[in-house]
């Protein structure tokens, strides 16, 4: 009997040892891989391509027939199915509210299109070729007295946002003020396939590959060392830049921090059993209970499964269809700002955002026909080749900061984040705010970012 117990003990011990060895193989830190900094994403054969390294001014400008064609489409709206009685945004975009927005868009907004166009052009726009793509970016140089410290900053948007998200925060960053003894020179690119940036003609332009494009863009405009701020895809891409190019990134500030590794999941479950051991109790409901958080994510990410598998199909349904496009995009600015807005007949859209600003963002997608190409990043992000890179297993020592807004789609505790962000120097919780922080609460995001940069400057 004693012999059998010893045998069983030995078998169990060997099994545990094998499992742990395999698990360590899944969780051990990885080195930065060798990168192809010149991967060609343009149409045709790279042998026929010669990169134009010039930087050319660009102006947002659309002729009257383009705008009148849109007005005609907004006049010829299909019959919209009435919402169920007593239902607000629980089934998606409330069509009663949508009719109001369409009327405003068709009349007041388009009647003042020349003013909207001027606003979109309030900052200098440029184009340059990077890796076969004609990349669009805003570049704002601060006008400050000689001797003022000027820091280069890359601002990165996500989906379904655009460079328009940053229009309120750019002046704060580029203007001298009492709360900082430095200003920023700001570069705000449209991601490839978004807005006025050319889309890839080839498979594989994933977030990690976009990170290389962004790094090359910063080199093109003259900055080998710079800071980063980003949300949504901009957060992931910013993370990857700070992981791949640790000698170039001076600091990375993100408002949707996440780490996706084999270790992050058991750590999340373990923390959920006794949250008070891992986080301040006043912030428990940012992360837990897991059941309700998971339910919220499931409710809000149906779009993601479609875009990660069939981006061109849903893109075809939306492209050239202003009514469908507005409903699809603006719904995110409702429930991603606060899930409770599902219960409001107007979706809470104008609690923080101006309707003109929201429509500016929709117009960028409509006028550039980029809804399909913008969605392809989901398919590339979930492709097997991208997932097997396991980039979050590469630790980054770049100083990092996380701004955690109350109603962000997904949050992770610092115990998990520090596995990847090994130099996490700032992590602040905010009692309000959602997914589009730069547009919703620009002053709050600005102050958190400046606090982070000031700490690094010291």
Active site residues: 232, 378, 435
Say which residues have a Cβ less than 8 Å from residue 160's Cβ, sequence separation at least 6. Answer: 328, 329, 332, 361, 365, 374
Question: Can you give the length of the chain in residues?
Answer: 458
Distance CA 14, CA 20 (A): 10
Report the candidate in 242, 180, 290, 248 with the shortest Cα–Cα distance to residue 395.
242
């Amino acid at each position: 009997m004693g012999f059998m117990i010893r045998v069983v003990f030995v078998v169990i011990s060997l099994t545990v040892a094998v499992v742990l060895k395999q698990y360590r193989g899944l969780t051990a830190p990885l080195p930065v891989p060798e990168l192809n900094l010149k991967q060609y994403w343009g149409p045709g054969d790279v042998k026929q391509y010669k990169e134009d390294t010039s930087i050319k001014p660009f102006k947002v400008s659309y002729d009257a027939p383009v705008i009148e064609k849109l007005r005609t489409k907004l006049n010829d709206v299909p019959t919209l199915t009435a919402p169920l009685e007593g239902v607000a945004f629980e089934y998606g975009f409330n069509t009663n509210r949508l009719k109001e927005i369409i009327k405003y868009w068709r009349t007041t907004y388009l009647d003042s299109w020349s003013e909207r166009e001027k606003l979109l052009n309030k900052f200098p726009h440029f184009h340059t070729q990077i890796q076969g793509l004609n990349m669009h970016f805003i570049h704002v140089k601060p006008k400050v007295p000689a001797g003022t410290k000027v820091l280069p900053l890359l601002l990165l948007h996500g989906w379904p946002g655009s460079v328009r998200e940053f229009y309120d925060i750019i002046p704060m960053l580029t203007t001298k003020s009492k709360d900082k003894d430095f200003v920023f020179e700001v570069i705000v690119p449209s991601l490839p396939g978004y807005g006025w940036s050319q889309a890839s003609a080839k498979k594989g332009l994933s977030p990690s590959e976009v990170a290389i494009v962004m790094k090359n863009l910063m080199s093109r405009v003259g900055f080998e060392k710079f800071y980063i701020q980003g949300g949504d895809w901009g957060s992931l891409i910013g993370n990857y830049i700070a992981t791949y190019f640790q000698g170039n990134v001076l600091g990375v500030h993100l408002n949707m921090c996440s780490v996706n590794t084999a270790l992050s999941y058991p750590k999340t479950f373990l923390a959920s059993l006794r949250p008070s051991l891992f986080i301040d109790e006043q912030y428990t409901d940012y992360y837990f209970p897991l059941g309700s958080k998971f339910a919220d994510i499931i409710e809000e990410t149906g779009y993601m499964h479609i875009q990660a598998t069939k981006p061109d199909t849903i893109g075809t349904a939306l492209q050239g269809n202003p009514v469908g496009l507005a409903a699809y995009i603006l719904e995110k600015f409702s429930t991603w700002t606060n899930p409770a807005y599902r219960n409001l007949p107007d979706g809470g859209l104008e609690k923080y955002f101006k309707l003109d600003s929201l429509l500016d963002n929709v117009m960028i997608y409509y006028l550039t026909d980029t809804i399909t190409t913008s969605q392809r990043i989901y398919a590339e992000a979930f492709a097997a080749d991208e997932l097997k890179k396991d980039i979050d297993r590469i630790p980054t020592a770049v100083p990092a900061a996380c701004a955690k807004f109350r109603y962000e789609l997904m949050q992770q505790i610092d115990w998990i984040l520090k596995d990847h962000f090994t130099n996490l120097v700032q992590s602040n919780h905010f009692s309000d705010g959602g997914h589009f922080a730069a547009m919703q609460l620009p002053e709050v995001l600005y102050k958190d970012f400046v606090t982070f940069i000031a700490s690094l400057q010291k």
